[in-house]
Homo-oligomer: A and B are copies of this chain.
Amino acid sequence: MNQRLRFPVIILNFKTYKEATGASALSLARIAEKIAGETGVEIVVAPQNVDLYRVASSVSIPVFAQHVDPVTPGSSTGHTTVEAVKESGAAGSLVNHSEKRLRLSDIRTCVAKLREAGLTSLVCAGDAVESSAASAMNPDIVAVEPPELIGTGIPVSKAKPEVVSETVERIRRITRDVRILCGAGISGADDVAAALKLGTDGVLLASAYVKSKNPEKLLKEMAEASLGRR
């Protein structure tokens, strides 16, 4: 496991929202950096790859790529290498997000390449069965995100708690070495608390933060909710 990450963690996926692109990506990352500093909670931001260097070279919190390609440096025009992600200053990468699903064999390659480079791998999966398969490939983190709830504002930790607890249970039968997050619909501090109570190590969210009228306030409340656990 990459040394840099502490748990519980809040991971903010910027997707390709206009409100989180370019200079705006940097602003949203700086708010996250501020709240991480104030609360002591680990917060990670994941801007789109074009913005990775711009963000990672400017903030002190961990920055993740949203995707890496399972390629070796060289003749792979248009792809993103783990090596470039590392050199940009990023600390890890999402793998297999529901909006960028990968082949089983490519997930395995990406996880291995990230590990080799000393970067953290976070594999997304859509349900408990997929999550357990992901965990068998020994990533650092697995995040369960039912695709039907992504972007809805209906939090998985409240609407489908059984998906989260079944995920924890299935993964734990296979390995104790992977951290488990949940995502999809996470909108407020309550959802974070509910996620941690279900046995996860944190949350993954996107639109609720990116589109918030007051992202600083929202994130502070979420960070404090995550501290309630300890």
Interface residues of A (CB under 8 A from B): 13, 15-18, 21-23, 48-54, 65-67, 71, 73-81, 83-85, 87-88, 94, 96-108, 125-127, 129-130, 132-138, 150-151, 170, 173-174, 206-207
Contact = CB atoms under 8 A, between A and B. Distances in A.
Contacts of A96: 104
A107 B104 contact: yes
A161 B165 CA distance: 38
Nearest to A88: B50
A54 B53 CA distance: 7
A130 B94 CA distance: 19
30 contacts: A13-B77, A15-B74, A16-B74, A16-B84, A22-B88, A23-B87, A48-B78, A49-B80, A50-B50, A50-B87, A51-B53, A51-B84, A51-B88, A67-B79, A75-B206, A75-B207, A77-B94, A77-B97, A77-B98, A77-B100, A79-B100, A96-B104, A102-B104, A104-B107, A104-B125, A104-B133, A108-B126, A129-B137, A136-B136, A136-B170
Contacts of A50: 49-50, 52-53, 65, 80-81, 84-85, 87-88
Contact of A134 (B21, B51, B52, B104): B104
